[in-house]
Amino acid sequence: MSGLKKRNSNSSADREEDKQVTERMLTPSSGVEKGDPRETGAPVCDGKSPNNAAGGEDGVVLKRTITLLNGVAIIVGTIIGSGIFVTPTGVVKEAGSVGLSLIVWAVCGVFSTVGALCYAELGTTITKSGGDYAYILEVYGSLPAFLKLWIELLIIRPSSQYIVAYVFATYLLKPIFPVCPVPEEGAKLVACLCILLLTFVNCYSVKAATRVQDFFAAAKLLALLLIIIIGFIKIGQGETDGLLPENSFEGSKYEFGSIGLALYSGLFAYGGWNYLNFVTEEMIEPYKNLPRAIIISLPIVTVVYVLTNLAYFTTLSPEQMLGSEAVAVDFGNKHLGPMAWIIPVFVGLSCFGSVNGSLFTSSRLFFVGSREGHLPSLLSMIHPSLLTPLPSLIFTCLMTLLYAFSNDIFSVINFFSFFNWLCIAMAIVGMMWLRYKKPELERPIKVNILLPVSFVLACLFLIIVSFWKTPKECAIGFGIIATGVPVYLIGVWWKTKPQWLQDGIFSTTALCQKMMEVVPQES
């Protein structure tokens, strides 16, 4: 025992040693000397690093496991949510006729495809995950990127995820309440259980999450294919005079504002075409698979959306569609007889898959935001054996569950109708700026300059329409965005925080890290 001394747990030396161990837990491996057994950033227990057991030779990082098929499923599964089944009426309400509605749906699909192609160039030039946030950070700097992250974190991501989960719960419970409305409390409970279940799946395994996405993307395409086939059968039977060219444009509204709002409604249904850019770092061969997934997915969604609406119009007039609470369900009730229950089931499956895709990509957005120093460092940590961003997934889940206490979510979302297109336009203007300022950057894909220019002009048109039609809501939205400025100044810009505050943040992060058993991503 001559070489050993009894430790005194109350000694200052031991406290300093414990603090150093905790610091090593919170520090990525790049800050540790090479050869140190704690190089992984996690505390050493019995000489076996959990990173080596689970992470393989590459250590603790988010692995490249997303294949081309997974990428297609993420885009298709995120775009096709509940809207095309439940309320595809926003377009026909503003367009006024069958023919103009179908043209608007097709134009919106082409528009989304052009935007996605521009994002393919962005995603292969700036190869970070994080989508719009990462591109705005690269081009415009820290504050604009933080404000984008702030609104995504506070409102857009959690509220949209909760709404789709609530629609899922409503359709799941409807067979139990066939002749009366589904109780709101019951729907909220099932929506929260849906979010918790999918968070667990995403925390457990990236492969499990992508398999869920693949399955539910296929299920919703199958449901829409069933509707399209019925529509073509109706056309073949010749009972569709309203679709004839001489009749299909009756009642069309060609006013500037009506066309703008019709495009807004259609483009909202295509929302999610840029979500694959949020997980670029986890894609296998992103230079090849990112653009391929986009080129495959957007035409599929566009054709499916146009043909689905065409099928609806074979059975329902524009007036009947506007009066319907769930268009696909009414369509199924008229054609499927005792098998009409299939459509509500598929609507529920569609919503379930959309929530999964949104949770998956939202957690990566917050992960990247933390890695860039805009969110607490805990959110950029990874579980060393599961290799999933556990803290950011749990954070996304909690933020989403908070919206179960809100009674008027849609009014909140309406405040930011312009914000999405503003950020997308900024990102694509940044792409053109990078072409001029940094021509030496590797660009595996380089789209014709007319595409980004025309897309940005179209985005400006949508922003102008938004301010013109809903000026009050846009002003409130700007006010909420401005609340992110003091948060940025205190949380990010202020580097000389008091020692007691730094110690408190440090201790809280270390405690949460130990509870979740997570470590920083290795550089």
Contact 351, 171 (CB under 8 A): yes
Q: Whose CA is closest to 103, among 329, 414, 297, 313?
A: 313
What's the confidence (pLDDT) of residue 461?
87
Q: Whose CA is closest to 445, among 296, 271, 289?
A: 289
Distance CA 16, CA 14 (A): 5
Question: Which whole number is the average pLDDT over 471-479?
Answer: 88
Average pLDDT of the chain is: 83
Task: Looking at 341-389, list the stretches that DSSP marks H as alpha helix, in order from N- to C-terminal side.
Answer: 342-371
Distance CA 91, CA 266 (A): 6
User: Per the structure block, which two tokens stand in for 298?
Assistant: 């957007």
Q: Whose CA is closest to 453, among 484, 433, 419, 428?
A: 428
Cβ within 8 Å of residue 349, ≥6 positions away: 216, 219, 220, 223
Contact 199, 359 (CB under 8 A): yes
Residue 332: pLDDT band (50, 70, 90) is confident
What's the confidence (pLDDT) of residue 21?
45
Element holding 382 (H helix, E strand): strand 381-382
Residue 471: pLDDT band (50, 70, 90) is confident
Cβ within 8 Å of residue 264, ≥6 positions away: 90, 417, 462, 465, 466
Question: Which whole number is the average pLDDT over 506-523?
Answer: 89
Q: Which class for 53: exposed (0-12), middle (13-18), buried (19 or more C-beta within 10 A)?
A: exposed
3-state helix, strand, coil in the chain (%, to 5): 75, 0, 25
Question: Which whole number is the average pLDDT over 290-305?
Answer: 93
Which range, of 207-211, 377-381, 442-446, averages the lowest pLDDT? 442-446
More confident residue, 32 or 477: 477
What's the confidence (pLDDT) of residue 26?
53
In order of 125, 181, 380, 503, the CA distances from 500 in angstroms are: 42, 53, 23, 5
More confident residue, 469 or 200: 200
DSSP string, 32-83: S-TT-TTTTSS--SSS--HHHHHTGGG-SS----B-HHHHHHHHHHHHSSSH
User: Per the structure block, which two tokens stand in for 512?
Assistant: 């949460």
Distance CA 310, CA 103 (A): 11
State pTM to two decimals: 0.83
What's the confidence (pLDDT) of residue 410?
65
Contact 137, 353 (CB under 8 A): no
User: Per the structure block, which two tokens stand in for 170?
Assistant: 């409503």
Element holding 211 (H helix, E strand): helix 206-237
Q: Is the pLDDT score of 143 beyond 60?
A: yes
pLDDT in tens, 222-268: 989 999 999 898 888 877 776 777 777 887 788 877 888 888 888 88
What's the confidence (pLDDT) of residue 265?
82
Distance CA 40, CA 385 (A): 12
What's the confidence (pLDDT) of residue 372?
93
Q: Whose CA is closest to 91, among 225, 253, 227?
A: 253
In order of 100, 125, 146, 424, the CA distances from 443 in angstroms are: 38, 5, 26, 19
User: Per the structure block, which two tokens stand in for 266?
Assistant: 């259609």
Which residues are bridge partners to 520 per DSSP?
381
Distance CA 68, CA 283 (A): 8
Cβ within 8 Å of residue 376, ≥6 positions away: 370, 505, 509
Greatest alpha-carbon pair distance for the chain in Å reads 102
Residue 27: pLDDT band (50, 70, 90) is low
Cβ within 8 Å of residue 254, ≥6 positions away: 100
Q: Whose CA is closest to 154, among 433, 383, 482, 517?
A: 482
Distance CA 128, CA 227 (A): 39
Contact 306, 103 (CB under 8 A): no
What's the confidence (pLDDT) of residue 507?
93
User: Per the structure block, which two tokens stand in for 476?
Assistant: 């409130």
Distance CA 129, CA 135 (A): 9
Distance CA 43, CA 35 (A): 14
Q: Whose CA is closest to 513, among 304, 356, 340, 370?
A: 370
